[in-house]
A and B are shown apart, each in its own frame.
Chain A
Amino acid sequence: MARAIPMRRRLLFTVLGWVTGLFLFFPILWTILTSFKTEGTAIASPPIFLFFDWTLENYWEVQSRSDYLRHFLNSVTISFGSTLIGLLVAIPAAWAMAFAPPRRTKDILMWMLSTKMLPPVGVLVPIYLLFRDWHLLDTRIGLVIVLTLINLPIIVWMLYTYFKEIPGDILEAARMDGASLGKEIVYVLAPMAVPGIASTILLNIILAWNEAFWTLNLTAADAAPLTAFIASYSSPEGLFWAKLSAASTLAIAPILILGWFSQRQLVRGLTFGAVK
């Protein structure tokens, strides 16, 4: 039954909603606007909001001066690599736990969750030293390994809650009809599992892309992804606001778009299925 909403009330909330939304979004909007300014107008006081000479110069500068593309590709490699390996390991595990749960499945799930709660500083020292000895510091492969491991519990959990929703009866029906295990997986399970796997991939790429503890501590120059590259603007010499804004806009744009498509999955993944 639809509620009848008086027009005045609706208009009031429209204004209220938009003002709040724009207020919270403002720092991002400001970053995007600043990225099109010259360094001079970027620090102008009073600030210039819209009426300035729009320029793309910062975007070219960021690329030519600091090889932005390399850091971007590092981010892509690290987030996609860790997601892919994580999936390869997690899909069988989540599958087994959802469809043929061994005893103590619940305990194993809870234990996996608990590894996610280990504060990274608790293992910073040994990981740093091991990486130094194994020559993994400042390498993409090193970061892929670490990010795979820190996000593995979330991947397993998310897949598990999605697989759990696939009705077991369908499997039985397929088996009755004489489907082999291989056929069962390809024709029955896979199509139903695809949406869950896709959302898991999305969430995990977002998390890996934005991860900023290990990426900052384990990289220097070669393997630095965007998180670490942007952090280099924190030094006092790096106070080029327009360039910082251009680099930032490029760094957050892909994830903003991905994230906007996967709001619901975000809730589900980040609460380990506690809120759906």
Chain B
Amino acid sequence: MTTLHTRSAARFMMTPAVMLLLAWMIVPLVMTVYFSFLRYNLLMPGTEEAVGFENYSYFLTDPAFKTALLNTLLLVAGVLLITVIGGIFLALLLDQPFFGQGIVRLLVIAPFLVMPTVSALVWKNMLMHPVNGLFAWVAKSFGAQPIDWLAVLPLLSVILIVAWQWLPFATLILLTALQSLDEEQREAAGMDGAGPISMFFYIVLPHLARAITVVVLIETIFLLSVFAEILVTTNGGPGYESTNLAYLVYALALLQFDVGGASAGGIIAVILANIVAFFLIRMIGRNLET
């Protein structure tokens, strides 16, 4: 049906979007690669020179890199664990009919809509503060010693904050998937004598498998780049205890003005994200065909 004419019109209509994204992706990325092979510090202008892979070897052998990489992985894994398991429970709960279901659902979704700097500061000051925070009060009223969360357990604190923000995302997606579960299938299993537990493991969980994969992949993409939450709570510290890759690159670039080193770090972050993106893209692509 589509004629040659509409085809060329279509190509014309797509051009601006494609060109813009191409420019956005290629130009800065090429520059980053180029900078990563230079010794280039903004504090010493005019001393740029090509140094081959020196920035990479320096970045990769820096003990801060190993810590940051580990922290990045722990952050992603920790948040995924909490949000996926919590999300399954919440989705199952919200799938049950009860009074005020709509309102409860709104309450559950809300944390996802709060801007990262607000949630991080609210948790840091009003909940996790060792003296006046609410957690400290709860601990004291149980006779326990309050914990200085951000000083003693900085990474765990960041994980908790980020997990709180992402739990609604997992819940929403799993709930949407759950609602497409065939009621008759459940009823048939029930008639065959399946209890709630075997029902969950043999019917519900397999049905959710795809949605869980989507949650894991998409969250991973975003969680690899967690930044604002770290910036306003711990500044990556104490030491490098809560520094992830994104924060390390930021610190190199905008605090130490080491353009070359930061670029090398940026490229390594890109490679890491690409590994995850590869799987996500394949999965969404398969979905596109059907």
Contacts and interface: CB of A to CB of B under 8 A. Distances in A.
Interface residues of A, number: 103
| Contact residues of B: prevailing secondary structure | helix
B277 A114 contact: yes
Given A149-B24, A266-B172, A119 B233 contact: no
Interface stretch (A50-58, A185-193, A207-215): A207-215
A221 interface: no
Contacts of A18: 100, 104
Contact of A25 (B107, B117, B211): B107
B177 interface: yes
B88 to A, nearest CB: 13
A76 interface: no
B173 A152 contact: no
A27 B123 contact: yes
Interface string B222-233: 001101100111
Interface string A1-43: 1010100001101101110111011011011001000000001
Given A113-B284, A275-B177, A122 B270 contact: yes
A30 B14 contact: no
Contact-residue bracket for chain B = 35 or more
B198 interface: no
Interface in B24-69: 24-25, 27-29, 31-32, 35
B21 A101 contact: no
A44 B137 CA distance: 10
Interface in A236-276: 239, 241, 244-245, 248, 251-252, 255-256, 258-260, 263-264, 266-267, 270-276
Contact of A241 (B20, B117, B125): B125
A267 B274 CA distance: 23
A168 B1 CA distance: 10
A127 interface: yes
16 contacts: A10-B97, A14-B100, A17-B93, A21-B105, A27-B123, A31-B122, A112-B18, A112-B21, A118-B273, A119-B246, A122-B29, A122-B270, A152-B17, A213-B225, A227-B116, A263-B172
